[in-house]
Structure 1
Amino acid sequence: MQARETADTAAEIEAIKVVKARYCRYLDTKDAAGWRGLFADDLVVELDMMPATGGADPMTAPPIVGADGFVSSVLETLADATTVHHVHGPEIELTSAATATGIWAMEDRLVYPGGRSLLGAGHYHETYEKVGGDWKIKTQHLTRLWVELTGDWSGAALSD
């Protein structure tokens, strides 16, 4: 019985890893439908745009509720940017047959026309739920350890 549970657990964790890999690829290729399909409808996202300061960072965005609004907002903000998102070192734990938590180390680069760019690193803290047999991202909190901005960011919005 233990071997079966271990195989099932490994398969579920691998399925969550595939969701996160697709998250990066769909975001960077601006595949709106593919990216939207990775999220639970009632998604809640928190984005710390500068290194985290326990919520005191004036660049911490208010929570975004709902996958449709999150996807359209991020893709609109990044429409003219070339982006590269990398994640690694997943710490995934199944909390039930249909829920899980995960922490991913991340690095992102956003390059806009005109010389403006962002290079950052931090962590995605996420929860997942299984919906119709597929794992979906339920909550996400991006915390940043380091951000390097180049170019003129005055009046510009930062996004994932």
Structure 2
Amino acid sequence: MPVPFDVAEIISRKKAQYGRCIDTKQWHNFNQVALSDTEFNFLDPDGSIIMAGKTRLTFPSSKAFTEFFGRFFRNAETLHMFGPGELEQVAPDEVTAIWGMEDQLLLKSTAGLVELRGGGYYYETWKLKDGDWFLKSLRLERTYTKMSFMARVLQLLHIYLWLILV
């Protein structure tokens, strides 16, 4: 069913806040966007869970998500951009949303030589709680990822070292 304008506006604003909290490293404000038990899953174009080193990018809570990405993005500059959302109210207290996205990550200490860019779609569920809307589940399905040459070299080096040291 259609989403009332005021609900769509709240959810769209909170999606923008999600990106800003990440890009400006305002992890302490993330509870204004997501519930504590929000589930996060990040998938490669082939449908597999994305790996960051040995870590699977699937998190059972906002705390696990913000702790990991707080460390992971500590020495990175990021930008997350979202297209207009496709919102549908599936229950009085639940809205599903699909957002097109593109993101970029630059490692600060590499003079711009290590860069990751990508895009895809967020599939989300938003819940009404105590008169406000919050992210309840998030699944990012990437459609592409592009790495700079140095990022690819570092990735291959990491794989090689893992193979010989394990």
> For residue 66 of structure 1, what is the aligned residue in structure 2?
61
> For residue 146 of structure 1, what is the aligned residue in structure 2?
144
Normalised TM-score (structure 2): 0.81
> For residue 123 of structure 2, what is the aligned residue in structure 1?
125
Deviations 1:17-74 (A, max 9, x none): 01101011111110111123311111111111x32x233x674935310111111111
Residue 135, structure 1, aligned to residue 133, structure 2: yes
- Looking at structure 2, the residues matched to 68 and 146 of structure 1 have their Cα atoms a distance apart, in angstroms, of 27
Offset, 1:105:
0.2
**Consecutive aligned runs of 4 or more in structure 1 exceeding 6 Å deviation:** none
What is the total number of aligned residue pairs between the two structures?
148
- The answer as to whether partners of 1:99 and 1:128 remain within 8 angstroms in 2 is yes
Range 126-135 or range 59-68, more displaced: 59-68
- Looking at structure 2, the residues matched to 13 and 87 of structure 1 have their Cα atoms a distance apart, in angstroms, of 15
The share of aligned pairs that are identical, in percent, is: 26
Residues 81 and 9 from structure 1, CA distance in 2 versus in 1: closer, same or farther, beyond 3 angstroms? Answer: same
Alignment map for 1:6-155 (pairs within 5 Å): 9-48=4-43, 50-51=44-45, 53-55=46-48, 59=51, 61=56, 63-112=58-107, 113-114=109-110, 115-150=113-148, 151=150, 152-153=154-155, 154-155=157-158
SS in 2 for 1:30: coil
- The answer as to whether partners of 1:13 and 1:94 remain within 8 angstroms in 2 is no
- Looking at structure 2, the residues matched to 24 and 90 of structure 1 have their Cα atoms a distance apart, in angstroms, of 14
- Looking at structure 1, the residues matched to 35 and 83 of structure 2 have their Cα atoms a distance apart, in angstroms, of 22
Question: Amino acid of the residue matched to residue 123 of structure 1?
Answer: Y
